[in-house]
Structure 1
Amino acid sequence: MSAPLLSVRGLKVHFPVATGKLFGKTPVVRAVDGVDFDLQAGETLGIVGESGCGKSTTGNAILGLAPVTEGEIMFDGRNVAALTGRDRQALWRDLQVVFQDPVSALDPKRTIAQSIAEPLAIHGVGRARRKERVDELMELVGLRPGQRDRYPNELSGGQRQRVVIARALALDPRLVICDEAVSALDVSIQSQVLNLLLRLQRDLGLSYLFISHDLSVVRHISDRIAVMYLGTIVEEAPTDELFARPLHPYTEALLSAVPIPDPLAERAKTARPLQGDVPNPMDLPAGCPFVTRCPLRETGCETIRPAAVEIEPGHRLACHVREREITGTSALDPQR
């Protein structure tokens, strides 16, 4: 296998919390607390989890929008955190983002053409070429030429998100980070935008890091899925395998909560809603972050943090109990 386009190792993003106290240790929120993954060129890795799990912060750290406390982010062989000046600006040609809310992402005083042309102007593309490129991009994402001089408030939500996608593609990026890119849209429009993203990936050779809380959406677009919980990835596997054979109890709970058409189906009968309380992100367990809600927890889970282990080719898992069930041993065993 070739070297990954994006490689993240030991990523931590901790935010200090102001308490108003003059003395004592400053508490921190461990938003991302040791994340590892690779993304190959031309594939989509979905990152899924509940709100507050750290998935958006992970994307922001890769983009340089959140400070990295610890760890390494390598993009096409370049250390993202070490880039400055022109090198960092050059990175934005290859790395772009589509955020959740197209209303906030677009300047209401700029026309659609002006918004799409903005990154081209920043990178010194001439006026004539900018006009040509805007026309190409609008056609590429399914916008009509007559919408060129309209303003964001004159478009539907789906059309506005197409404008945001067109702007993200203006500089021919290699990786697009989609952060809840369809969650603000109606279900029928979601499908249209997801199919557009898939077509663009096929035609342009794009790679996606697709961040979402919606497993159904992630399943539709992702080659692989990483499940996050409280700043860590607890399971990662190819999409079909994850849905067919989830191993981590958190993944099982998420999948059991996905709505299905037949309420009498077996999976509906065996739904396992999450129990227990979510830990304070300023005071996480020393061991497994899921221990306070885990139906499988054993003595030692609260003190020994499980490492992500490749249980099967391409299937990684961070769970002491399931690791022992599959391999016959875990870090909880005294003899190990």
Structure 2
Amino acid sequence: MSALLEIRDLKVHFPVRTGRFGGGKGLVRAVDGVSLDIGAHETLAVVGESGCGKSTTGNAILGLAPVTEGQIRFGGRDLGNLTAEGRKAVWRDMQVVFQDPVSALNPRRTVAQSIAEPMVIQGWSRKRIAARVDELMEQVGLNPDQRDRRPVALSGGQRQRVVIARALALNPKLVICDEPVSALDVSIQSQILNLLMRLQREAKLSYLFISHDLSVVRHIADRVAVMYLGVIVEEGPAAEVFASPVHPYTEALLSAIPLPDPRGRAERRRILLEGDLPSPLNPPEGCPFVTRCPLAEARCHEARPPLEDHGAGRRVRCVVRRPG
């Protein structure tokens, strides 16, 4: 069975002015050759540090960032040459939950008006919209008396529930969740994660879950793709990636996750990466991780490694740790 979302060799490059007086020209390689699939009713998490290209990938899928090269197919349909009407049809089946519910909601609109927005755009009748708004508010755990409140009168968790309800209004097949809990208190994060997982079961949704927090990802993801400097360095089933990471960058990210150990007996060797994430304006020659990798060898500087099959759905981009 074909994937719901197929991404092949996606590149998103942004031209910029460089030099002290802006006389030079450069190219920011925000996304530099990403290929991913998402199946029906599946959650794929894309993880990595800030600036690695995760959100740009999501924006390219949504049509909010220009695609330089590559192909994006959704439900078998090429998203590269859509008309305005075609894009409107795609948006019925593809929605988004952004990181910050404050900026995602119009402060002048009520809860009901915010949730109703996609239905109004699609031309639904008032009666149908009103019934659907009531249904969605119940689904996401909002009280009926909050219907006429504005975002300023809601807590952070309640605002994100409004954003989630709006994303589900048209019964989409795919929801792109871009850091959906990072702006919330830790006590609220688990509530929103549990809500997303319940809604996925009930509505048979697929999620692209973008996050820098692997402790969050491990609770919701079926598969994980680890991104570094615009490329995927490791991908595979979440349980396998968390249990036995192969790429040195994945190892370093996982080593930072606190172990659940109330007695304080668990130990894990923390892998500290030296230096900052290189600029996508001037990425390293060879492996993108070579400047920070504790296992780097001379050959790592020569060419970018391919994303090789390690079996059991695992793919890894590393010449030091090749399969076999």
**Relative to structure 1, is the Cα distance of residues 235 and 153 closer, same or farther in structure 2, using a 3 angstrom cutoff?**
same
Shift of 1:287: 1.0
Separation in 2, partners of 1:277, 1:98: 29
Separation in 1, partners of 2:134, 2:121: 18
Q: Which residue is 1:318 aligned to? A: 317
Q: Is the 8 A contact 1:98 1:176 kept in 2?
A: yes
**Relative to structure 1, is the Cα distance of residues 112 and 310 closer, same or farther in structure 2, using a 3 angstrom cutoff?**
same
Q: Which residue is 1:296 aligned to? A: 295
Q: Is the 8 A contact 1:176 1:208 kept in 2?
A: yes
Separation in 1, partners of 2:212, 2:295: 24
- Greater displacement, 254-263 / 133-142: 254-263
Shift of 1:82: 1.2
Q: Which residue is 1:153 aligned to? A: 152
Q: Which residue is 1:280 aligned to? A: 279
SS at match of 2:96: strand
Q: Deviations over 1:45-74 (max 9, x none)?
A: 000000000000000000000000111101
Q: Is the 8 A contact 2:17 2:23 kept in 1?
A: no
Listed as ranges, the matches of 1:206-217 within 5 Å are: 206-217=205-216
Separation in 2, partners of 1:166, 1:22: 44
Q: Which residue is 1:65 aligned to? A: 64
Separation in 1, partners of 2:84, 2:217: 35
Q: Which residue is 2:87 aligned to? A: 88
Q: Which residue is 2:97 aligned to? A: 98
Q: Which residue is 1:246 aligned to? A: 245
Separation in 2, partners of 1:187, 1:100: 14
Separation in 2, partners of 1:9, 1:90: 22
Q: Which residue is 1:7 aligned to? A: 6
Q: Is the 8 A contact 1:235 1:315 kept in 2?
A: yes
Q: Which residue is 1:174 aligned to? A: 173
Q: Which runs of 4+ in 1 moved over 6 A?
A: 20-23
Please give the root-mean-square deviation of Cα atoms over the aligned residues, in Å.
1.3
Give, as a single letter, the amino acid of the residue that structure 2 aligns with 1:289: P
Separation in 2, partners of 1:226, 1:115: 32
Separation in 1, partners of 2:62, 2:145: 33
Shift of 1:162: 0.3
1:236 equivalenced with 2:260 (yes/no)? no
Shift of 1:212: 0.4
Shift of 1:182: 0.5
Q: Deviations over 1:4-54 (max 9, x none)?
A: 000101000011112376876x20110000101100010000000000000
Q: Is the 8 A contact 1:97 1:176 kept in 2?
A: yes
Q: Deviations over 1:66-87 (max 9, x none)?
A: 0001111010111112111211
1:200 equivalenced with 2:199 (yes/no)? yes
Shift of 1:264: 4.4
1:266 equivalenced with 2:267 (yes/no)? yes
Q: Is the 8 A contact 2:273 2:292 kept in 1?
A: yes
**Relative to structure 1, is the Cα distance of residues 295 and 146 closer, same or farther in structure 2, using a 3 angstrom cutoff?**
same
- Greater displacement, 270-279 / 81-90: 270-279
State the TM-score, normalizing by the size of structure 2. Answer: 0.96
SS at match of 2:291: helix
**Relative to structure 1, is the Cα distance of residues 274 and 23 closer, same or farther in structure 2, using a 3 angstrom cutoff?**
closer
**Which 5+ residue runs of structure 2 have no aligned equivalent?**
none
Shift of 1:100: 0.4
Q: Is the 8 A contact 1:285 1:303 kept in 2?
A: no
Q: Is the 8 A contact 1:277 1:292 kept in 2?
A: no
Shift of 1:277: 4.2
Q: Deviations over 1:210-267 (max 9, x none)?
A: 0000001111100000000000000001111011100000000000011224454231
Separation in 1, partners of 2:319, 2:236: 17
Give, as a single letter, the amino acid of the residue that structure 1 aligns with 2:8: R
Q: Is the 8 A contact 2:44 2:224 kept in 1?
A: yes
Separation in 2, partners of 1:174, 1:193: 19
State the TM-score, normalizing by the size of structure 1. Answer: 0.93
Q: Which residue is 1:330 aligned to? A: none
Q: Which residue is 1:28 aligned to? A: 27
Q: Which residue is 2:304 aligned to? A: 305
Separation in 2, partners of 1:118, 1:22: 41
**Which 5+ residue runs of structure 1 have no aligned equivalent?**
328-336
**Relative to structure 1, is the Cα distance of residues 188 and 22 closer, same or farther in structure 2, using a 3 angstrom cutoff?**
closer
**Relative to structure 1, is the Cα distance of residues 22 and 111 closer, same or farther in structure 2, using a 3 angstrom cutoff?**
closer
SS at match of 2:300: coil
Separation in 2, partners of 1:160, 1:121: 20
How many corresponding residue pairs? Answer: 321
Q: Which residue is 2:187 aligned to? A: 188
Listed as ranges, the matches of 1:124-139 within 5 Å are: 124-139=123-138
Shift of 1:304: 1.1
Separation in 1, partners of 2:138, 2:301: 54
